[in-house]
Chain A
Amino acid sequence: MLIFKVGTLAKELLVHRNTVTNWIRNGKLKALPAPAKRYSVTKNEFIRFCKKEHISADAMERVLNKGAEPARGRNKSGEDILIPGADEIIGAVMVVGGGISGIQAAMDLADSGYYVYIVEKTAGIGGTMAQLDKTFPTNDCASCIILPKLVECGRHPNIEILTLARVENVQGSAGRFSIRVKKEPRYIDTDKCIACGICAEKCPIKVRDPFNFNISKKKAVYIRYGQSVPLKYAIEPEACIYFTQGKCRACEKFCPTGAVNFSQTGETVTLNVGAVILAPGFKPFDPSKYDFFGYPMIRDVVTSLEYERILSVSGPTGGALLRPSDHTEPRRIAWLQCVGSRNHNNCGNSYCSSVCCMSAVKQSMTSHEHIKGRDLERTIFFIDLRSHGKESERYFERAKQENIRFVRALPHTLEPGSDGTGVRMRYMSEQGRMLVEAFDMAVLSIGFEAPEDVLVLARQFGIELDTHHFAKTSCFEPVESSREGVYVIGAFQSPKAIPRSIVQASAAAASASKLLMEKIGTLVKTRQYPEERDCLKEPVSVGVFVCSCGVNIAGTVDVDQVVEYAAQLPYVSYVENNLFSCSADAQESIVEKIHEFQLNRIVIAACTPRTHEHMFQETLKSARLNGFMVEMANIRNQNSWVHQKDSASATRKAKDQVRMAVAKVAHNYPLQQERIKVVQKALVVGGGIVGMKSALTLSGLGVDTLLMEKSGILGGNALKLETCFKGDAVAPLLESLISRVNQDKRIMVYKNTSLEFVSGSVGNFKGVLNSSGKKEEIHFGAAIMATGAKEAVPDEYLYGQDKRVMTQLEFDTAVLYRPEETAKVSSIVFIQCVGSREPKRPYCSRICCVHSVKAAISLKKIRPAINVTILYRDMRTYGEWEAYYKIARDLGVMFIRYEADEKPVVKKKTGCLEINAVDPIVRRPVRIGADFLVLASGVIAHDNKHLADLFKFAVNPDGFFNGAHPKLKPVDLSVAGLFLAGICNYPKPLDESIEQARAAAYKVVLLLSQDEIRSEAIKSFVTENCDGCALCIDVCPFNALSMEGKRTGAKNSPARSGSRIVTDPALCQGCGLCAATCPKEGILVHGFTMKQLMAQVRAAINECVPEKRDLMRKEGDTRGDVDDPSL
């Protein structure tokens, strides 16, 4: 940071002071006012400015060097000089907006050593995702996947959540912002509130509930939703009759803890942070702007978000699908797409909101689950169905198979049904006939708009917005706002779904982290757990917590019966049922009950331990128990969800599962995690733009990186790209990336290199590189897969038989960017979806529509007389790229749709190609002559089998890498320590790939910035039964076992003292091959001892066949001094 006075800088640069003033005024030098008539500018910005304005390198160096002197304020001559502000950088970050992207950014930064403030304007974090019922394309329950994150965020020692808060004023500059935040009074003392809900029960006032999009009522004293974080009530003063009429105070009277405080006043705090991440989300479009949708006059017309609440089990109908007018189950539902998107006549929202198509498909598919056993007719009215995301096209196909009707039309003039319920709508069929159809209910798929207070926010932070008031960013720096130190993510950057918001959050965290790197760890607290209770000496006391998971479990399994049953099981001293065992209030309850009933072992009967066990372990730790004293009974994924039709048997099975878990947990004993030294080096596989961006982000954050490229040059697919989607030239970026990579001392580039062998695990991988025959052993702690993908080679439309038929990339290089070629052409035809969205390649390549439309625009701009025709199936110019579609139509590009079963036919004619298609609107064949035919052949994955086998991660049937979780872990691979970025994951444009590169790099930094990581506790250990027979040594796949001492004693003596096996915990992976081989329980695996597994086996059967119980052999065990807990 340089701080200067205008006059001083003018002298140094040998210009007049007015020149400097003008530079600042017209924005050439992006300097910001600083106190005492000074200005501040970052070094990078200053260097950029000097280069652009051709200021001599000497002068620039002089200024920079002076700036680098220690801060004194005055030079010898007594004049102000440039004061470096570097040592004032603050190691804290503010995140504005507590939705899923804000939470992710906050957690990433807090984990890496920055203190984070989340400024949330409502009473609790969670944002829109917490309001959703399910998420596509897995139909995962949204609250199930966000709740653990909310809980973790809420209890993170380095995250401070400010609710009911708004930014008032912003001062300072990158690295050193001073932000004033106004906190509205809650009128509830959060320290005292126990969220018992008595206040809301006693409150006489009902008001609209914004969490349920006003379709239901809440009390004037409220929590945002049942699993809200922080779980504390708040009073809405506009509604409360004490505030409006001066009497009542019922809540105060009944509050058992005296938490209500009517005299609370608002509070203004000034927070000093180094960087700001803006994640204010979006505003749902308000369809009442249009009179023809009849919203909200027709009661059975609802918005998609309202519908989401109707479906949600925590919503106003408790998950029953009931229409608002008469509370009956609808039989026919219509979805209307593009309400408030792709519309510049009525609302000016000419962009596509990019998620509504998939959201409508999701709603139509999941609606079925809410109506038991009866038919539901579902119709989706759409313009173009945009299932352009990963696994989305398959999802769409599945919907078609489920008999969901897709109608290409935009209904208008919605009228109430004849008896005042339902809705009638008119639409024009594709054949041009006007039809009237009646439905029981209509759902308007509303689009995203920029958040309400966006203009204020933009002014406060001094950032630029685009025409639709979304934040302005560039293709190559997709999360950087126009102001340094301010980053924009999530739907505020442009409308987008959850996974990309998450990626952007991590990418922004990477950028903020780079800015504040020198102050890492200065303001953070480490998480302290209370000292563990020594519970081995206590009698076994099990607490069982049975989750209803909304209706996910309780809808099939009779939870009350399970609770009653569990209470009778031996060792169980406490049983509780929770609506959501993963919610913040349930965690508090677990901790409370552990203390109250002196529980020392916990069983959670809920979902799968794979996603939730870690969270419950943390809860146990905060309750002075070892994390490994918990077992989960998976009564959701492996019970209620798969036995939906057989409630009685499912309940019986749930009881068995709980009994098995109780039996096992009785044998659990505290485990300690081994610490593993981390190799602080990363491997990046793939030297394209994504690989290079990852490597540079890594090196910028201080991680040594090996960059491996299979070909002889860096650059990958970008070498063939002229511009990115936003129109910036790719070549200069590529050049600068390559030169930066080559000069970077932290990056080792290996060209013509392949990976031959990999071993080890997170924090400590070993590999063998083969660089054109030369082998080299490498060590690394984590790796990023950025292997890219390639353009498919078409096998139809005369491709390969006529050289005028080309793929998109071929056309770009051969014709589009060569004026001598474009001068000759008069007609160009593009065919979209060549080989894509067909049974053999059932996915959409996401980028081809925009690519073709952009090429078409370029052609029209070169010469309007060129006839450009695009033959398409659905135009998928999603998000902001919709603008190109409009420009192309305005410029006269012809768009003709074709059906998959009626593909265009290409013929060779003298002088030109002849393309025959059928225009679906006029139902007439069309014949187009073309100089060139461009085939949008899409993207196919490289053959990644070798890599996937080496590292043992999962690829999807199309060969693309799968994230560990499609929504919340988009850049993590299923193997710990491995990450992915770019189009090896799924086809995507450059900006999205760069976001992933940054995000993946940051995940690696999070991992490698630690000196040591906690290893798995699940390792083998040798018991005193071991007599050194060494059978296990041979089977160990990791060479973790060895013999200690010499063999003595007779061959068959039971104790061959002195010879025993020893386990090397660094090498042991806990597979248990040794334990299953050992004939005498001489070696076992923590968490899976014979005693534990045997207890589970016994518990599983002995209830069913009790007379056989006594026949079972009783075992002694060497670990855990639990008295015999055979059930």
Chain B
Amino acid sequence: MTHRFEPVIIGFLCNWCSYTGADLAGVSRLQYPPSLRPIRVMCTGMVHPDLVMAAFSGGADGVLVLGCHPGACHYIEGNIKASARADVISVILRDIGIDPGRFEIKWISSAEASVFARFITDFTKRIIKLGPQQVKPGKGLIQGRTDI
């Protein structure tokens, strides 16, 4: 008997834009797959790379960092900083053998409920295509810190 692969995607949602947008998607009853496990953060700039790496090393199939559009950050430029970190995270993921396609940073405003629902749908499809993330103990797994 084969099981349908239901990916687990960890999403860090910024309180001001994306979390609000996700709430609005609810109010508008826009449907998307139940793969996302949202974690509310004040700003995408608050998401330490360790958290992303811990999610992957724990076995998450995908990780999202969702925040305000550039220029709309509640904290001026937290999202820009997060974006710079995201570049580094992608590089590290490739180095340790995790498909960087499993990680994405994206800007979704508080009004873009439909964008949110569509994006989660698309990202989930992408992860399903990539299949479950295989953690290779002792090999690619990060044991120490990622000081970025």
Docked pose: A1037 CA to B78 CA in angstroms: 8
A294 to chain B, nearest CB (A): 35
B92 CB, nearest partner CB in chain A, Å = 14
Which residues on A sit within 8 Å (CB–CB) of B39? Answer: 660, 1093, 1096-1097, 1100
Known A610-B20, A1096-B39, A1113-B143; judge A644-B29 contact (CB<8 A).
yes
Residues on A with C-beta less than 8 A from B46 are: 1071-1073, 1075-1076, 1085, 1088
CA distance A643 to B20 in the complex (A): 17
- The reply to whether B38 and A1075 form a contact with Cβ atoms under 8 Å apart is no
A656 to B39, CA, bound (A): 11
Given contacts A1070-B42, A1071-B46, contact A1113 B34 (CB under 8 A): no
CB distance from A180 to the nearest CB of B (A): 45
User: Is there contact, CB below 8 Å, between B10 and A1100?
Assistant: yes
B75 to A: closest C-beta gap in Å: 4
Option from A645, A1085, A1113 in Cβ contact (under 8 Å) with B42: A1085
- B110 contacts A by Cβ under 8 Å: yes
Contacts of A97-149 to chain B: CB distance below 8 A: 138-140
Q: Check A642 against B42 for contact (C-beta < 8 Å).
A: no
CA distance A1101 to B31 in the complex (A): 23
Interface size class of A (residues with CB under 8 A): 35 or more
Which of A235-243, A478-486, A915-923, A1104-1112 binds B? A1104-1112
Asked if A1090 CB lies within 8 Å of chain B CBs, one says yes
Q: For the complex, is B48 an interface residue (Cβ under 8 Å from A)?
A: yes
- Nearest chain B CB to A649's CB is how many angstroms away? 4
Shortest C-beta distance, A494 to chain B (Å), equals 29
The answer to the question of A570 belonging to the interface, with a C-beta cut-off of 8 Å to chain B, is: no
**A1076 vs B46: C-alpha distance when bound (angstroms):** 5
Contact of A841 with B by CB under 8 A = no
Q: A1085: shortest Cβ distance to chain B, in Å?
A: 7
Residue of B nearest to A1108 (CB): B59
B74 at the interface (CB under 8 A from A): yes
Q: How far is the CA of A500 from the CA of B77 in the complex (A)?
A: 37
Taking a contact as CB atoms under 8 Å apart, the answer to whether B59 and A1105 are in contact is yes
**Chain A residues whose CB sits within 8 angstroms of the CB of B28 once the complex forms:** 138-139
* Cβ A642 vs Cβ B10 within 8 A: no
State how many angstroms separate the Cβ of B83 from the closest Cβ of chain A: 12
Asked whether any CB of chain B lies closer than 8 Å to the CB of A641, the reply is yes
Name the distance in Å between A739's Cβ and chain B's nearest Cβ.
41
- Distance in Å from the Cβ of A1030 to the closest Cβ of chain B? 15
**Cα A638 to Cα B29 with chains together (Å):** 10
Residue from the list B37, B54, B111 in contact with A1113, Cβ < 8 A: B54
CA distance A634 to B27 in the complex (A): 13
For window 1-31 of B, CB contacts with A under 8 Å fall at: 6, 8, 10, 15, 19-20, 22-23, 25-31
Within 8 A of B (CB), among A623-647: 634, 636-639, 641-646
Contact B78–A1073 (Cβ < 8 Å): yes
> What is the distance, in angstroms, from A557's C-beta to the closest C-beta of chain B?
10
B residues 89-148 touching A (CB-CB < 8 Å): 110-111, 117, 135, 137, 141, 143, 145, 147
Q: How far is the CA of A952 from the CA of B70 in the complex (A)?
A: 12
Interface residues of A in 1073-1094 (CB under 8 A from B): 1073, 1075-1077, 1079, 1085, 1088, 1090, 1093-1094
Which A residue sits closest to B68, measured CB to CB? Answer: A952
Residue in A639, A657, A956, A1108 whose beta carbon sits within 8 Å of that of B135 in the complex: A1108
Does B51 lie within 8 Å of A1097, measured CB to CB?
yes
Nearest B residue (CB) for A656: B37
Cβ contact within 8 Å between A1100 and B45: no
Within the complex, which residue of B22, B76, B77 is in contact with A638, where a contact is CB–CB below 8 Å?
A: B22
B81 touches A660 (CB 8 A): no
Q: Does B41 contact A (CB under 8 A)?
A: yes
B130 to nearest A CB, angstroms? Answer: 16
| Interface presence of A908 (CB below 8 A) | no
Chain B CB within 10 Å — which of A1038, A1076, A1100, A1109 has the most?
A1076
Classify chain B: how many residues form its interface, as a range. Answer: 35 or more
Structural contact, B57 and A139, CB atoms closer than 8 A: no
B132 to chain A, nearest CB (A): 9
A1098 within 8 A of B: yes
Q: What is the chain A residue whose CB lies nearest that of B109?
A: A954
Contacts known (A1072-B42, A1101-B8); A1037 close to B75, Cβ less than 8 A: yes
Q: Kindly state the separation between the CA atoms of A273 and B69 in the bound complex, as whole angstroms.
A: 51
Contact between A1112 and B8 (Cβ–Cβ < 8 Å)?
no
A8 is an interface residue with CB less than 8 A from chain B: no
Q: How many angstroms from the CA of A310 to the CA of B74 in the assembled complex?
A: 42
Roughly how many angstroms separate A1079 CA and B85 CA in the complex, as a whole number?
13
Given known A140-B27, A642-B26, A1070-B42, contact A649–B34 (CB-CB < 8 A): yes
Interface residue A1102 (Cβ < 8 Å from any Cβ of B) = yes
Q: A954-B111, A1037-B76 are in contact. Are A138 and B27 (CB under 8 A)?
A: yes
A1018 within 8 Å of B by Cβ?
yes
Closest to B135 in A: A1108
A847 at the interface (CB under 8 A from B): no
Q: Is the CB of B58 within 8 A of A1108?
A: yes
User: What is the distance, in angstroms, from B14's C-beta to the closest C-beta of chain A?
Assistant: 10
Contact A646 B20 (CB under 8 A): no
Residue of A nearest to B145 (CB): A1079
CB of B10 to closest CB in A, whole Å: 5
Q: Does chain B have a CB within 8 A of A609?
A: yes
* Closest A residue by C-beta to B9: A1100
- Which residues of B are found within 8 Å of A949, using beta-carbon distances? 71
CB distance from A182 to the nearest CB of B (A): 43
Considering the complex, give the chain A residue whose CB is closest to the CB of B82: A1076
State how many angstroms separate the Cβ of B128 from the closest Cβ of chain A: 13
**Inter-chain contacts of A1018 with B (CB < 8 A):** 42
Known: A637-B26, A1071-B45, A1097-B55. A643 touches B38 (CB 8 A): no
A923-948 contacts to B, CB under 8 A, are none
In the complex, how many angstroms separate the beta carbon of B108 from the nearest chain A beta carbon? 13
Which of chain A's residues have a CB closer than 8 A to the CB of B135? Answer: 1105, 1108, 1111
Chain A residue numbers with a CB within 8 Å of B33 are: 643, 646, 649
Q: List 21 A-B contacts (CB under 8 A).
A: A634-B40, A637-B22, A637-B27, A642-B26, A643-B32, A1035-B81, A1037-B78, A1038-B76, A1071-B42, A1072-B41, A1072-B46, A1096-B39, A1097-B54, A1097-B58, A1101-B59, A1104-B8, A1105-B8, A1108-B57, A1111-B135, A1112-B57, A1113-B143
